Amino acid sequence: DAGVTQSPTHLIKTRGQQVTLRCSPKSGHDTVSWYQQALGQGPQFIFQYYEEEERQRGNFPDRFSGHQFPNYSSELNVNALLLGDSALYLCASSRETSRDFGPGTRLTVL
C-alpha cells in the first residue's frame, strides 16, 4: 500500500514563473493539506482541501492556490514565483485520526 506520493521530487524555476506540484493521498484518506518548509524552519500550513473545496487556509497570499480532484489527489499552484518561495513543499493526507506526510517536493527559485 503506497503512502502519500508527491511529484516532482525536485524542481527549479526562475522568478515570475508559475509552478504546479502534485500529491496523491494515502489509500483511504480523503483530506489533503499542503505545507511550506523553508530551510531550517518547521513546516508552515498553506491550506487544506476536503470534498474538492478549500476548508482552511494559512497566512499565504493568493499566489498560492490549489485544487482537489474527485479521486482525492491534489495540486498546489504558485504563480509569480519569488526567490522566497524556495522551500520543501509537503503534502499531508488524512482521514479522521489517521494522517501521513509525503516526502515533499524541493522547489528552487532562481
Partner 1 sequence: LAKTTQPISMDSYEGQEVNITCSHNNIATNDYITWYQQFPSQGPRFIIQGYKTKVTNEVASLFIPADRKSSTLSLPRVSLSDTAVYYCLVGVYNQGGKLIFGQGTELSVKP
Tell me which residues touch partner 1 (CB under 8 A). Answer: 4, 31, 33, 35, 40-45, 48, 56, 58, 88, 90-92, 94-97, 99-104, 106
- Min dist CB 29 to partner 1, Å, is 9
- Min dist CB 86 to partner 1, Å, is 14
Which is closer to partner 1, CB of 18 or CB of 27? 27
- Which triple of cell numbers denotes residue 92? 499531508
Which is closer to partner 1, CB of 7 or CB of 18? 7
- Min dist CB 16 to partner 1, Å, is 26
